[in-house]
Amino acid sequence: VRAQGDTYQVVADVSQFEPPDIVVTTSNCHVAIQAEKVAEDGTICDTFTHKCQLPEDMDPLSVSCALTEAGTLVITARRR
């Protein structure tokens, strides 16, 4: 978790996954990133999991995420 001005930022490289395969959840100041790549035969051939705790002074209603064209997931939250 990096502080940048009045926001916190979490960055993850998920370039090996397609956007529908990536799930981001938040709960009680925690952020979880999960991604699975499913092969044509239905088996899971690659997974990614990352969990982190956001600082307590972040605004939980301000959490948002964006996926860049390069496959970098950027999660931001404003500081109170």
Percent of the chain with pLDDT over 70: 100
Domains of the chain: 2-78 (2.60.40.790)
> Which token pair is 12?
């993850």
At 26-65, the pLDDT tens digits run 988 899 999 999 999 999 999 999 999 988 898 888 999 9
Per-residue pLDDT at 29: 86
| Rounded Cα gap, residues 13 and 11, in angstroms | 7
Stated pTM of the model: 0.85
Distance CA 46, CA 30 (A): 23
> What token pair was written down for 3?
């502080």
**Confidence at 1, pLDDT banded by 50, 70, 90:** confident
Sheet of strand 30-38, all strands in order from the earlier edge strand to the far edge: 22-27, 30-38, 44-53
The CA radius of gyration of the chain, in Å to the nearest whole number, is 14
Find all residues with CB under 8 Å of 68, minimum gap 6, and list them. 74
The whole-number pLDDT of residue 17 equals: 95
